[in-house]
Amino acid sequence: MSTQLLGAVEGGRGDVFDSACPARTVLDHVMGKWAVLVLVALRARPLRFSALRRAVGGVSEKMLAQTLRTLEADGFVHREVAPTTPPQVTYSLTGLGHELTGHLTGLLDWIDTRLPDVQAARAERAAVRAGT
């Protein structure tokens, strides 16, 4: 598993994967600060640029456009331009994108449910640093 992404712990080559590794670039794109949110937002339904921007709080036009271009290039989202004035551009997930978001929502849901545990861990650590 994850043969492309992790260096050989057992064998010991050591520098098996660098930034040039294709799998790494995909991972970086997908894990990008905004990519996850965009992907998951699109999972519910196709959205237009503005709606997407509203759905993903705090993203600038620049970053949203940039993220979308990357995700489109990787084949995760589909860009549909309606030839109207003003132009309407709708983004939706491709089949590949749907598969991907399946894994992502699993992760996000887990974070949601386990948030209390993480906060507890943080609190405990803070207490240790203060007390002992």
Partner DNA sequence: CTGTATCCAGGTTGATACTG
Partner DNA sequence: CAGTATCAACCTGGATACAG
Residues that bind a copy of itself (CB under 8 A): 1-7, 9, 12, 14-19, 22-23, 26-28, 30-33, 36-37, 40-41, 44-45, 47, 51, 54-58, 72-75, 96, 99-100, 103-112, 114-115, 117-122, 124-125
**C-alpha–C-alpha distance, residues 8 and 3, integer Å:** 9
**Between 65 and 102, CB nearer to DNA:** 65
- CA distances to 24, 85, 100, 103 from 64, rounded to whole Å, are 21, 22, 19, 22
Least CB distance to a copy of itself at residue 130 (A): 14
**C-alpha–C-alpha distance, residues 90 and 78, integer Å:** 8
Rg of the chain over Cα atoms, rounded to whole angstroms, equals 19
87: preceding bond cis by omega (within 30 degrees): no
Task: Please identify which residue in the block is written with the tokens 């089949």.
Answer: 95
Q: Interface with DNA includes 50 (CB under 7 A)?
A: yes
Q: Interface with DNA includes 62 (CB under 7 A)?
A: yes
Which range in 48-56, 95-103, 104-112, 114-122 contacts DNA by CB under 7 A?
A: 48-56
Least CB distance to DNA at residue 36 (A): 12
Residues 25, 4: contact at Cβ < 8 Å?
A: no
Residues that bind DNA (CB under 7 A): 32-33, 48-51, 58-63, 65-66, 68-69, 79, 86-90
